[in-house]
Amino acid sequence: MHAIELDDVTRRYGDVTALDGVTLSVEHGRTVGLLGTNGAGKTTLFRHLVGHETPDSGRIEVVGRSPEAGAAVRERVGYLPERPGFDDALTAREVLGVHAELRGVPAAERDERVERVLATVGLSTAADRRTGGFSKGMTRRLGLGTVLVGTPSVLLLDEPTAGLDPRGVETFHDVVETLADGSGVTVVFSSHALAEVERLCDDVVLLDDGRVRVHGPVEELRLADGSVTVALRLADPGDAGRASEAARTVGGVRGVERGRDGRRLRIDCERSAAFDVLATVRRAVDLDGFEAHEPDLREVFGRHVPTGGSGGGAP
């Protein structure tokens, strides 16, 4: 059984199709990054997973139950909305206390749990300040705290690092890495920070126009097309022509691009050809240095989401 399963889920708002036949499954204990441009359907997907919305068609199961079971499902699910709101008059400690109480944290453990979460999200010194005076980043931290204060087995976090300062982002990374370290907790979070997703996630789901364009382990997706980029720095800019010609003689080379200063050469090739390219060019010209890198998520994203995609979007 999976932590999350969606089978051909479709949701329309008037003329806009926010989710278009989404089929997806997430295994227990995985950390999943949800990518997509604005309006791709990420928030709509989260809202369906916690039962705030119901699909027009298709089936959804979270921790083995339909989200329409409502509170019964949310007992096992921690959800951080895109824009969490808190009552201005309450302090951070009081907010977390209420959340702990409603999440069923035993009274005897509640204070200690709240203190621990306050420390985890870096709000210990602001614990007794009213949330009305919080910055956007502090509000996000408190939002993260509200999902950590319970004991859910699935965490759904809608852009948890948006508006966070670097330290707040680091805190979030620490939290996710701790959870990913064999805790069995399934974490799904949306983000526009591709490097963050690449660093933290086991799997990536790429949504575009309400459809799942890509879903799979980060490593597999990055290496899916088997390409690698070799960047060379030439000792003599005058050798650029010869170096390019030499590189093109190697089988598996897909493209050669010269840098503006004439000293750099960027060669896209099949992974298996990388060493041959390097050796061949090195025989032809003198090199000052080189580096090779595999495609990152930015390139995967660019490959699957055309510029200007997701023109629709949920209301």
Partner 1 sequence: MSDAGSNSGPEGGRERQPDGGTVEATGIGFGRERSDRRSRLGAVRTVARREYRIAARNRREVGLAALFAVFAVGVVAFAALRPDARHDVVVASLVELGIYLVPLVALVVGYDAVVGPEESGTLDTLLALPVTRGTVLVGTVLGRASVLCGASLVGLGLGGVAATILLGSAGVAAYGRFVLVATATAAAFLALSVLVSALAREKTRALGAALGLWVWFVLLHDLLAIGVVAALRPPGPVVAVLALANPLDVFRLLALRGLDTVPVGFAAAASGVGLSTPILVAALAVWIGLPVVVAARAMERRRL
117 near partner 1 (CB under 8 A): yes
- Scan residues 195-234 and list those touching partner 1 (CB under 8 A): none
Q: Is 14 in the site for partner 1 (CB under 8 A)?
A: no
H or E element in which residue 295 lies = none
135 binds partner 1, rule: CB under 8 A: no
Alpha helices in the chain (DSSP H): 42-49, 71-74, 92-102, 107-120, 136-148, 166-180, 194-200, 218-222, 240-248, 274-284, 297-304
The β-bridge relationship of strands 203-208 and 211-217 is antiparallel
Considering only residues 147 to 166 of the shown chain, the ones binding partner 1 according to CB under 8 A are: 147-153
28 or 233: CB nearest partner 1? 28
Q: Which tokens sit at 173? A: 């990374």
Let me know: does 31 contact 176? Beta carbons within 8 Å.
Answer: yes
Closer Cβ to partner 1, 112 or 296, answer by number: 112
Question: Whose Cβ is closer to partner 1: residue 94's or residue 270's?
Answer: 94
Minimal distance, residue 202 CB to partner 1, in Å: 15
Report if residue 141 touches partner 1, rule: CB under 8 A.
no
Neighbouring C-beta atoms of residue 242, cutoff 10 Å: 14
Candidate list 35, 92, 169, 179; residue touching partner 1; CB under 8 A: 179
Binding mask 92-111 for partner 1 (x = CB under 8 A): --x---xx-xxxxxxx-x--
Q: Which one, 156 or 250, has the nearer CB to partner 1? A: 156
Angle between helix 92-102 and helix 136-148 axes, rounded to 10 deg: 30
Q: Is 29 in the site for partner 1 (CB under 8 A)?
A: yes
CA atoms lying within 13 Å on the CB side of residue 283: 10
Size of the site for partner 1 (CB under 8 A): 63
Residues numbered 229 to 268 that lie near partner 1 (CB under 8 A) are: none
Q: Which of 8, 56, 87, 219 binds partner 1 (CB under 8 A)?
A: 87
Q: Which residues lie closer than 8 Å to 97 by C-beta, 6 or more apart?
A: 110, 111, 114
What number of H helices and E strands is found in the chain?
11, 13
Alpha carbons 70 and 153: distance in angstroms, whole number: 16
Residue numbers of the site for partner 1 (CB under 8 A)? 1, 3, 28-29, 50, 52-53, 63-65, 70-72, 74-76, 78-81, 83-87, 89-90, 94, 98-99, 101-107, 109, 113, 116-117, 119-120, 130, 143, 146-153, 174-175, 178-179, 181-186
